[in-house]
Amino acid sequence: MTWTLQQVPTQSGRVAIVTGANIGLGFEVALALAAKNCSVVMACRNRDKAEAAKARILARHPGATLECMALDLASLRSVHAFAAAFGKRFERLDLLINNAGIMMPPYALSEDGFESQLAANYLGHFALTGLLLPRIVQTPHSRIVSLSSLAHHWGDIQFDDPQSARGYDKRRAYGQSKLACLMFAYELQRRLARAGHGTLSVAAHPGVSATNLFQHLPVMLHPFAPLVGLVFNTAAGGALPVLYAALGDDIEGGDYCGPQSFRQMRGAPVKVGSNRRSRDVAAAARLWNLSQDLTGVRFLEE
């Protein structure tokens, strides 16, 4: 049976963080959660964009509980500040949706010296998750959802050059960051289970969805952007696997959700598989150690 939002009960009393909630998939996830009476923290790097998105949700759901909080995932300083501010404001965290991301920008380093895609897509979320973990594990039935991509097939973890210092292939670097998100989701589940926590770590991908993510593709391709939503998924459709991972009642730790049809590029949300590299347990443990060393955030150490 196809999973739909209609079968999700009220989320009243629950608290969610959605990173990158001002547009695209993150906006759609925040909108859907707010419609179910979940209290949603919109964790965004641009306050004006966040407030405008909050207003758009409130226009549709006037009773929604929404709060914009500043978070730049490409800055460890910002990640620490966000986690500290959240910890002061909220006693619980039911859903952490690690959604924000960028794809194939020109080469740049974050203020911490990380390649920008690895920084925003993966390392920022790794640190965020670690800093918020005490709140998450004390909240019954909590879940952490990591956004991966079909692009996890494009990359490998370059342990000897994770920041692409020896040469930048933007497609491979995006693939590396999305593979890292998926390996992190699986490894986090293993570590949560071994530590005896009930929190579930799951992953999701939206197939191909019409969002701003494609802004760095060549300009000659931009006129085709509106077609993406027609041929593949709208942003709302692409958000469904994320929502299924977060809310589905048959979801288990370590599940990966994506669209059902056309080689996982579009369609209804289902559980999907991922490649062998993403399931390499030794590489995932090595990635965990590397991520701890790079970010200085250490958690669920064994």
Catalytic residue (choose from 122, 174, 244, 256): 174
Instruction: Give alpha helix (H) positions in the chain.
Output: 24-35, 47-60, 76-89, 116-117, 124-137, 170-194, 225-231, 235-247, 281-295
Phi, psi torsion values for 35, nearest 5 degrees: -65, -25
Q: Please report how close the Cβ of residue 176 comes to ligand NAP at its closest, in angstroms.
A: 12
Instruction: Clarify whether 244 is annotated catalytic.
Output: no
- Region from 65-73, 186-194, 256-264, 292-300 binding ligand NAP, contact rule CB under 6 A: 65-73
Out of 208, 236, 287, 297, name the contact with ligand NAP by CB under 6 A: 208
Out of 17, 100, 123, 188, name the contact with ligand NAP by CB under 6 A: 100
Residue written as token pair 């909630």? 21
Residue 37 in tokens:
């009476």
Asked whether the beta carbons of 163 and 118 are under 8 A apart, the reply is: yes
Interaction of residue 155 with ligand NAP, rule CB under 6 A: no
Interaction of residue 180 with ligand NAP, rule CB under 6 A: no
Mark residues 271-290: x for contact with ligand NAP by CB under 6 A, - for none. --------------------
Asked whether the beta carbons of 121 and 152 are under 8 A apart, the reply is: no
Out of 35, 37, 46, 195, name the contact with ligand NAP by CB under 6 A: 46
Q: Residue 263: exposed, middle, or buried by beta-carbon count in 10 A (0-12, 13-18, 19+)?
A: exposed
- Region from 81-89, 153-161, 200-208, 245-253 binding ligand NAP, contact rule CB under 6 A: 200-208
How many DSSP H helices and E strands does the chain contain? 9, 8
Which residues are annotated as catalytic? 174
| Interface ranges with ligand NAP (CB under 6 A) | 19-20, 22-26, 44-46, 49, 71-74, 99-103, 120-121, 147, 149, 205-206, 208-209, 211-213, 238
